[in-house]
Structure 1
Amino acid sequence: MDTEETVGTAETEETEETEEFLLPRSHAANERLHALIPGGAHTYAKGDDQYPEHLAPVISHGHGAHVWDIDGNRYIEYGSGLRSASLGHAHPRVNEAVRRELDRGSNFVRPSILEVEAAERFLATVPTAEMVKFAKNGSDATTAAVRLARAATGRPRVAICADHPFFSTDDWFIGTTPMSAGIPAATTDLTLTFPYGDLAATEQLLNRHQNEVACLILEPATHTEPPPGYLAGLRELADRHGCVLIFDEMITGFRWSEAGAQGLYGVVPDLSTFGKALGNGFAVSALAGRRDLMERGGLRHSRDRVFLLSTTHGAETHSLAAAMAVQTTYVEEGITAQLHALGARLAVGVREAAASMDVGDHVVVRGRASNLVYATLDENRQPSQQYRTLFLRQLLAGGVLAPSFVVSSALDDADIDRTVDVVAQACAVYRKALDAADPTPWLAGRPVKPVFRRLA
């Protein structure tokens, strides 16, 4: 494992069972991380509890669709940066745009001309929005949208889609999760939930809390497509009940279309939030929407002022330059179509590999081709953290880092083919565990854990 050309331990024809896969340097670095950083990472979804015990690689660097850990292993990477690096790492067009700004300063006492250029570029890419304001992370953008909705409607309650896993690190959302420590019940009580795809249940909620709900916030799509007429029906419900409709497009933005899910499905929200793919790994997010709402956070109105977004680094020029380059690349190079094609090829290959090992009902690929996830099911076809651990161990040993199967455009056919080969090897081990009705011998430690849980 001493060269950067190594790809996991699966370069031989033998299965991963014949050679134990170890990451001693990463293990030591994880201990250092935990000693200095709560959770050992700056995002819970990147924590080492999300990976098999002692097999959480600590990354040295990345290029394109590949990353290298500090033990010298090279991996084909999926879900890059929690879906943020959709063009792949160190994309030349993005890097060049940032490099041009490096010698020009990054933060001034007045707005940079780059701020208006970035706004113009964004609104040209997402023409359903009329104004935009940039920030650094998705949580700030979604919380600003909620605050704006409350100010515009004068209502206290927020209705979130119960079937979508994450909206914000702020109290209005985190208070609804098992990790609610430190959040007053009075805050959590103001957040309601509605089921995705069920207009009748949502209308019942709005009727039950008549004139109390400021907004409906949801991801317009996730691993399932919206039922026919659902988003349009939600739009009508929001209008009829005087609610603000907010689309969280952190994931769907660019992966569904360059104009987001709202551009693909033709339903325009009042407000929408973007991030992740927007900067290809650089820190930038956006709140966009109707002019009359967005102006409430501005200076050209006579109503009470709304403290919308005001961040020291919100318009830092390097990230805005990256965002502009990302959008231009998406539009000019047809990146969304590339993501769909790569994901479709991968989905077919994984399904065929799973079926060939007789685990097609247990290793299940789901979602839009540009945003694939997978489920690991036990002998009773129930979701299993133990079988997820087994599957992840085999993928890692084969040189595939895949907490999901979310593709980047930097992948090529050889990467996909190699991934499918590794999946087939993993599925062979999966079949043995199913036949034994016990995956424990293949775990070599504790199972991976869900992010949202009450106790560490």
Structure 2
Amino acid sequence: MRDFSRSNEIQARLHEVVPGGAHTYARGSDQYPEGMAPVLVRGSGARVWDCDGNEYVEYGMGLRSVTLGHGYGPVVEAVGRAIADGVSFSRPTELELLAAQDFLELVPGADMVKFAKNGSDATTAAVRLARAVTGRETVAVCDQPFFSVDDWFIGTTAMNAGIPAPATVGFRFNDLVSLADALDAHPVACVVLEQATALHEPAPGFLEGVRALCDRHGALLVFDEMITGFRWSAGGAQRVYGVRPDLSCWGKAMANGFPLSALAGKREYMELGGLRTDAARVFLLSTTHGPETASLAAFRAVVAAYRDSDPVGRMESSGRRLAEGVNAIAADLGIADHLRVLGRPSCLIFTTRDPDGVPSQPYRTLFLQELLERGVLGQSFVLSAAHTAADIDHTLRACHEAAVLYRKAIEHGSVEGLLNGRPVAPALRRHAAPRRLADRLTD
């Protein structure tokens, strides 16, 4: 059994000083088996170490923000050179121009870009800009997991306490009729969607149809490239699928984990936030830390890595081997209908189902528990270009041993006696239960 005592002690203290015990809900201890939420101290490549000295092959890679690996040398070196000359100034730096030029060379159809820090900065700026352009308030949002921490989106989720009812209407991915109905029923400012997800590719003609419907109804088309950017390609999913949005929003892997996001788009819209317009100006993005030198230097080093090598190809090759290996293990054990790896090879997830074939949090938690015991950390199998053949071998061995326990639970019809503690729970839920913590520490 692995020792998590120091991690548990620090996690308990984190809950005393940080609401939820983490600065991102998806990083919360309720997303891991009870008493087995490692507190990390360092990483290298695809490996990480916790404060108890445990080593893991990591998946998820900073919530999909790391594609080149932790501590990737050229990024670290570029950042070191940049920050030695200062991080934040009262005027733009030449680095801002160079980074913008690099970005616009990658992204088809984007004329201008503005950098920020969080993905929500970019998506909310896109919504604000679209509302100013169209004079409309309603936003049409695809039925995909997450777009922003701001009211216009979070107000549509279960965690909507304290948020006014948002002017938002939904539509279904790969369903042009549902989008057409939404646009017919409401004066929509913009249509926001991911062009693809780990599990869902756009059906033939779907993205082209979305583009045509936006044009017909006078709504701006906004693509969220937070996950697809630098995982589908360096130029994002719009380069893969060939449909051009009016605006696109970027973040996560564009700086290999350094905090950087971007709003990009057509000049006629982006200039409304600038000084070359006679129209009422839009407060587009204005951030103190958006242009700091560390993240922009990291971004330029990432661009160089994608230009000079093939990180996406390496992720897809490793991902295919991992998915095929785990699925073969499940098939050999007779549990292929219950445990399965799915998704784009660079963005894999695993599904866990109970004896009746129903998606199950208890069975998911059991699988996570057994992987953690065997040195594999991850709520998914999202990997990076730094995952080596040895990392995949390690993961497949761990998955085989975990799957043997999983089959035992399927045969018994329950995880009872095998799962320690309560199951994980959805990150965005209305109440802390079923993973509510006890009240404050008393020591």
**What does 1:160-175 correspond to in 2, within 5 Å?**
160-162=141-143, 164-175=144-155
Rounded to whole Å, the distance in 2 between the matches of 1:284 and 1:233 is 31
Rounded to whole Å, the distance in 2 between the matches of 1:100 and 1:125 is 24
2:426 matched to 1:446? no
Deviation at 1:276, TM superposition (A): 0.5
- Unaligned residue ranges in structure 2 (runs of 5+): 433-443
Rounded to whole Å, the distance in 1 between the matches of 2:371 and 2:431 is 28
Which residue number corresponds to residue 385 of structure 1?
A: 361
Which residue number corresponds to residue 178 of structure 1?
A: 158
**Is residue 130–residue 220 contact of structure 2 (8 Å, CA) maintained in 1?**
yes
- Unaligned residue ranges in structure 1 (runs of 5+): 1-19
Residue 234 (structure 1) aligned to one of 210, 222, 228? 210
Which residue number corresponds to residue 10 of structure 1?
A: none
Deviation at 1:76, TM superposition (A): 0.2
SS in 2 for 1:255: coil
Deviation at 1:85, TM superposition (A): 1.1
User: What is the identity percentage for the equivalent residue pairs of Structure 1 and Structure 2?
Assistant: 57
TM-score w.r.t. the length of structure 2 is 0.96
- How many residues are paired up? 431
Deviation at 1:127, TM superposition (A): 3.0
Residue 216 (structure 1) aligned to one of 177, 180, 191? 191
Deviation at 1:32, TM superposition (A): 0.8
TM-score w.r.t. the length of structure 1 is 0.94
Which residue number corresponds to residue 318 of structure 2?
A: 342
Deviation at 1:128, TM superposition (A): 2.4
2:85 matched to 1:108? no
What amino acid does structure 2 have at the position aligned with 1:141? A
Deviation at 1:154, TM superposition (A): 0.5
Superposed CA offset, 1:213-236 (max 9, x none): 000001110021111111011011
SS in 2 for 1:192: strand
Rounded to whole Å, the distance in 2 between the matches of 1:128 and 1:58 is 42
**What does 1:30-429 correspond to in 2, within 5 Å?**
30-162=11-143, 164-185=144-165, 188=166, 190-209=167-186, 212-222=187-197, 223-429=199-405
Rounded to whole Å, the distance in 1 between the matches of 2:181 and 2:61 is 39
SS in 1 for 2:346: helix
Rounded to whole Å, the distance in 2 between the matches of 1:449 and 1:432 is 23
SS in 1 for 2:421: coil
Rounded to whole Å, the distance in 1 between the matches of 2:17 and 2:194 is 34
Rounded to whole Å, the distance in 2 between the matches of 1:53 and 1:334 is 38
Rounded to whole Å, the distance in 1 between the matches of 2:385 and 2:311 is 7
Superposed CA offset, 1:154-175 (max 9, x none): 101001111x100000000000
Rounded to whole Å, the distance in 2 between the matches of 1:274 and 1:358 is 41
Rounded to whole Å, the distance in 1 between the matches of 2:279 and 2:297 is 34
What amino acid does structure 1 have at the position aligned with 2:153? F
Rounded to whole Å, the distance in 2 between the matches of 1:402 and 1:357 is 22
Rounded to whole Å, the distance in 1 between the matches of 2:131 and 2:310 is 38
What amino acid does structure 2 have at the position aligned with 1:431? R
Deviation at 1:353, TM superposition (A): 1.3
Deviation at 1:22, TM superposition (A): 3.5
Which residue number corresponds to residue 441 of structure 2?
A: none
SS in 1 for 2:230: helix
Rounded to whole Å, the distance in 1 between the matches of 2:172 and 2:159 is 21
Deviation at 1:440, TM superposition (A): 2.2
Superposed CA offset, 1:326-373 (max 9, x none): 111012111111111111111111111111221111112111111001
**Is residue 52–residue 447 contact of structure 1 (8 Å, CA) maintained in 2?**
yes
Greater CA deviation, 117-126 or 353-362? 353-362
Superposed CA offset, 1:107-130 (max 9, x none): 111101100000001111113211
Deviation at 1:279, TM superposition (A): 1.0
**Is residue 128–residue 263 contact of structure 1 (8 Å, CA) maintained in 2?**
no
Which residue number corresponds to residue 4 of structure 1?
A: none
Rounded to whole Å, the distance in 1 between the matches of 2:174 and 2:349 is 20
Rounded to whole Å, the distance in 2 between the matches of 1:364 and 1:160 is 29
